[in-house]
Structure 1
Amino acid sequence: MTDAFPIQTATLPDTLQGRDVLGRGRTGSGKTLAFSLPLVARLAGQVPGTQPVRHVARRPTGLVLAPTRELATQIAATLEPLARAARLSVTTIFGGVSQRPQESALNGGIDIVVACPGRLEDLMKQGVISLADVKITVLDEADHMADLGFLPGVKRILSATPKGGQRLLFSATLDNGVDALVKAFLRDPLRHSVDTAQSPVSAMTHHVLTVPDAEVKRDVVQHLASGTGRRVLFTRTKHAAKKLAKQLTSAGVPAVDLHGNLGQGARERNLEAFSTGAVKVLVATDIAARGIHVDDVELVVHVDPPAEHKAYLHRSGRTARAGSEGAVVTIVLPEQLSDVRSMTRQAGIQATPQPVRPGARVLNDLVPTLAAPVAPSAPAAPVRPAGRGATPGGPAADGQRPAGRSRRRRGKGGGTTSTDASASRGARQPSGAAPRQGGQPARAAAGGAQRSSVGAQRSSAGAQRSSGGAAGAAPASSGARRPAGPRRAGRASGAPAQRGGDQRHGG
């Protein structure tokens, strides 16, 4: 597409002149480029009356605030090629990852910082970053920041920027305190309202499908997930997202999940797999409802209906973006129908509920072509951690021996003898010789398990037992004379001392 979006056409003349601007537009309306272009152009001195900024360590000149890590990452991805062409640098700052790389980037002199409020405030308190040189500040998805409770932090951050700097605020709505933010920090802003959150998208179709029970719902969801194009499935909870992604993958529909319980690395890998098309199904909570842009999402499914109409609109906004078409489906159980009717009415959506079962015509219309099932790959064998808890004879992490440097020697009959290095040297048996106890060979324990008692052990006329509770030690011979009671660990007396772990013969 070569034509500017309405929000860009409306705001660019004013933002390029340095005016404060309030842009109101629904998600997917092109706001990121609307503020990225003037941000880079003015900092690079490419606008009449401006001078290129100087690179100063820990003192950026451009700041973009975003409510989520994913949105911050996507904004940075849009900014970076523009900034690179203008010889400016960009970095992201958000929580959930180590702050050391962020500190290193700031120390090198970063021009534009794209940040989430929480981590940015932490770095400000530590003196890692100063906002005293910021010339342009952008607040993206300001209403979502309000929903997440970030406004107090946003106010503190804005107060740390120079009063004379340019400020741009983009939001779908002005509720929950966003209007107060505008009045306090924007100077005589020019207001441009293109699409509000309630504005319907002409290229988006809405369907409300009712199911009688959870079993039918599961089959319907799987059918909707089985298409050849990209689709996003929204659940109410993190647990449900993880569970559904696993169920679909096991059923031959590869899916990845995205929710707050995932680490940053896993979130980025899963989103990358979905963005590149390696996986066509993303199962997400509302963490993906705002600001996440992936091209050509053809279907959004509300597996669990959202609690309120704004969430419905933002979730649905993952499809029919940038002029593309898309469909939105809400799956409704009988007890949810009344709430869903109220929600769609508040959202300005007209969709008549229709009952469905597997094989229904509307499902075939929504998913005309089913993708070929993909057999799930076998899970990798678990790697047991090294250390005292490592299973004797099992693989150690990173190819290292478990703690204690357990040595393995060839024993009688082709088996192996495992001896903990902490055992007394006098307790070691010659290679190939079976240890004797009271004149009789010691019997191998069932399963070849190695006992790991470290403290003193008691020997008696009966079976010897380790403090770990393992059973199977050879009974002492009736001719063996051993005083009952504790024995000093490591003392060699006839039978091998048993400390740090018994000697066992395999095979």
Structure 2
Amino acid sequence: MGIAQTGTGKTLAFSIPMVQRLANSKGLGLVILPTRELALQIDNELHRVGDSLGLRTAVLIGGLSIRPQTEAIRRNPHIIIATPGRLIDHLRQKTVSLGRVNILVLDEADRMLDMGFLPQIRDILKAVPKERQTMIFSATISPEIMKIASANMKLPIRIEIAPTGTTVENVTQEIFIVAKDAKMRLLEKILNQYAGPVLIFTRTKYGARRLAHAIKGMGHIAAEIHSNRSLAQRRSALEGFKAGRYRVLVATDIMARGIDVVGIELVINYDLPSQSEAYVHRIGRTARAGMDGRAISFAMPGEQKEIRAIERLIRKNIKISPLPELPPGRSFSSAPAPHFSRPNFSYSGNAHRSSPFARRRPARRSFGRF
């Protein structure tokens, strides 16, 4: 079991040994994680490690056609990266067999439980061989995770880089106490003070859409990423944010751990999270790779309880800053009605190489203080 704060390299901690072991065996690696974006991110990291060995993967995620994923499975990949729901779909349709799995990774385990994937995880654990290596990685620990570990691991070793709730040291944290009807004006002032990329979290997907539209009305280039966006739209927003085409990205908690972007100067909690643990994951998007960062939270006068819960979790008091002089109130045009489009998908082939992995046929990568 690996417990560490976000941005500390947990992905490489399992990617390197997994690739090394599978290079000399006929087994199958299986990585289970909570979101599509994180699945694609892990797939890229695995190929950075294993491309020189001819590594082949299959990515099984929702939002994409199941047919190319089935084709990738038929081409005998070495590692399957999957979200719980889509993997269960394949198991029910009998398009995948997990009988050869000898390495299982549950990544972002706490987030998967938060999202209600415990029943699917239990079904997946029943479908894999009992004789296997199991690795569980999480930023926080809970009694439920410990139950999963004790039931599915033999003499587990727990490696804890930092206690649960630890935040990145080089993040400057502060809170503004602000009335609900003044939050937009405070946001406008802060965005005008910072020149770098800004990541903003809201509590709901509808709030994210409205906020992104309002930010555009302020004159900033913004994108939104939440569960009501298709996979193609979410990937476009994230890649555009990474490339600098969007200065502001508005996201919900469900997307927090799929956002791996170095150089985010500021994280703003426009809404406090509904769960204290989400605060740690949100502000962990800044100050990555040893860089400095800043996290600003907007708290309404009646949210003292939520602030205290966060402070208990992170074991420190967060500075409460005086509210600055705000710009005059102005209205922004209403957000347009939500538009939902069918997701697109694409997949590309991997070259066949002479390597420890070359015995198998090449496969395509699917993309699929108050």
Interval containing the TM-score (normalised by the shorter chain):
0.7 to 0.9
- What CA distance in whole angstroms lies between the structure 2 residues aligned with 1:176 and 1:280? 39
Per-residue deviation at 1:335? Answer: 2.5
1:239 and 1:277 map into 2 onto residues whose CA distance is 24
How far apart in 2 are the matches of 1:358 and 1:263? 39
2:123 is aligned with 1:156: yes
How far, CA to CA, are the matches of 1:114 and 1:24 in structure 2?
A: 20
Do 1:143 and 1:173's aligned partners in 2 also have CA atoms closer than 8 Å? yes
Cα contact 1:297–1:318 (8 A) shared by 2: yes
Query: Residue 228 of structure 1 corresponds to which residue in structure 2?
Result: 195
> CA shift at 1:162, angstroms?
1.6
The answer for the alignment partner of 2:154 in structure 1 is: 187
**2-structure distance, mates of 1:167, 1:341:** 36
Comparing both chains, which one has the higher relative contact order based on Cα–Cα distances under 8 Å and sequence gaps of 6 or more? 2
The equivalences for 1:455-466 within 5 A come to: none
Partner of 1:197: 164
Alpha-carbon distance, 1:307 to partner: 2.0
Aligned to 1:249: 216
C-alpha distance in 2 between matches for 1:35 and 1:236: 31
Correspondence for 2:21 among 27, 33, 42: 42
Q: Which has the higher Rg, Structure 1 or Structure 2?
A: 1
Task: State the alpha-carbon separation in 2 of the partners of residues 101 and 196 from structure 1.
Answer: 41
Change over 3 Å in CA distance of 1:128–1:69 after alignment to 2: same
Q: Find out whether 1:33 has 2:44 as its counterpart.
A: no
The corresponding residue for 2:263 is 296
When residues 275 and 176 of structure 1 are mapped into structure 2, their CA distance, relative to the original with a 3 A threshold, is: farther
Q: What are the superposed Cα offsets for residues 40-98 of structure 1, whole Å, 9 maximum, x if unpaired?
A: 111112xxxxx4x3xxxxxx711100011111111111111222211120121111221
**Shift of the alpha carbon at 1:267?**
0.8
1:202-241 CA-to-partner distances (Å, cap 9, x unmatched) read 2011101122451x32122123234322211001111110
Q: Confirm whether residue 314 of structure 1 aligns to residue 281 of structure 2.
A: yes
Match of residue 97, structure 1, among 36, 59, 64: 64
Q: Distance in 2 between matches of 1:74 and 1:42?
A: 21
CA offset digits 1:327-377 (Å, max 9, x no partner): 1101122222443244333332322323313469xxxxxxxxxxxxxxxxx
Amino acid at match of 1:43: L
Looking at structure 1, the residues matched to 157 and 308 of structure 2 have their Cα atoms a distance apart, in angstroms, of: 37
2:96 is matched with which residue?
129
Aligned residues: 327
SS at match of 1:163: coil
Secondary structure of the residue aligned to 1:190 is coil
Q: What SS does the corresponding residue of 2:199 show, helix, strand or coil?
A: strand
State the AA in 1 paired with 2:56. S
Per the alignment, residue 368 of structure 2 pairs with none
Aligned to 1:149, the other structure's residue is in SS state coil
Return closer, same or farther for 1:171/1:42 CA change in 2, 3 Å cut-off: same
Matches within 5 A, 1:408-427: none
Alpha carbons 1:237, 1:285 under 8 Å: kept = yes
Paired residues of 1:24 and 1:195 also in contact (CA < 8 A):
yes
Q: Distance in 1 between matches of 2:106 and 2:259?
A: 16
**Structure 2 Cα separation of the partners of residues 325 and 251 of structure 1:** 27
List per-residue Cα deviations over 1:408-447 (Å, max 9, x = no partner). xxxxxxxxxxxxxxxxxxxxxxxxxxxxxxxxxxxxxxxx
Work out the CA distance in 1 between the residues paired with 2:277 and 2:202: 15
**RMSD over aligned Cα, in angstroms?**
1.9
Q: Cα–Cα, structure 1 residues 77 and 223, in superposed 2: closer, same or farther, change >3 Å?
A: farther
SS in 1 for 2:265: strand
CA deviations on 1:146-171 (whole Å, 9 max, x unpaired) are 11121221122122112221111111
Deviating above 6 A after TM superposition, structure 1's stretches of 4 or more consecutive aligned residues are none
In structure 2, distance between residues paired with 1:129 and 1:334: 52
Which amino acid in 1 is paired with 2:3?
A: R
**Is the contact made by 1:297 and 1:320 (CA closer than 8 Å) also made in structure 2?**
yes
In the alignment, structure 1 segments of 5+ residues that lack a partner are: 1-21, 46-50, 54-59, 361-378, 380-507
1:175 alignment counterpart: 142
Letter in 2 for 1:29: T
TM-score when scaled to structure 2? 0.84
| Contact in 2 for aligned 1:200/1:348 (Cα 8 Å) | no
1:311-339 Cα distance to aligned partner (Å, 9 max, x none): 11111111112221111101122222443
Q: In the alignment, what sits opposite 2:77? A: 110
Change (3 A) 1:188 1:291: farther
Match of 1:274 in 2: 241
- SS at 1:244 equivalent: helix
**Greater fraction helix:** 2
Are the counterparts in 1 of residues 238 and 259 from structure 2 also a CA contact under 8 Å?
no
Partners of 1:125 and 1:288 lie apart in 2 by: 27
Q: Contact 1:30/1:322 (CA < 8 Å) preserved in 2?
A: no
Q: Deviations for 1:19-57, whole angstroms, at most 9, x for unmatched residues?
A: xxx111111111000000001111112xxxxx4x3xxxx
Inter-partner Cα distance in structure 1 for 2:118 and 2:309: 29
Q: TM-score when scaled to structure 1?
A: 0.62
| Cα displacement (A) at 1:277 | 1.6
2:41 — aligned with what? Answer: 74
Residues 197 and 253 (structure 1), Cα distance of their counterparts in 2 relative to 1, 3 Å cut: farther
Deviation for aligned residue 1:289: 2.2
Q: CA separation of 1:110/1:247 partners in 2, compared to 1, >3 Å: closer, same or farther?
A: same
Percent of aligned pairs with the same residue? 39
Provide closer, same or farther for how the CA distance between residues 86 and 236 of structure 1 changes in structure 2, counting only shifts above 3 A.
same
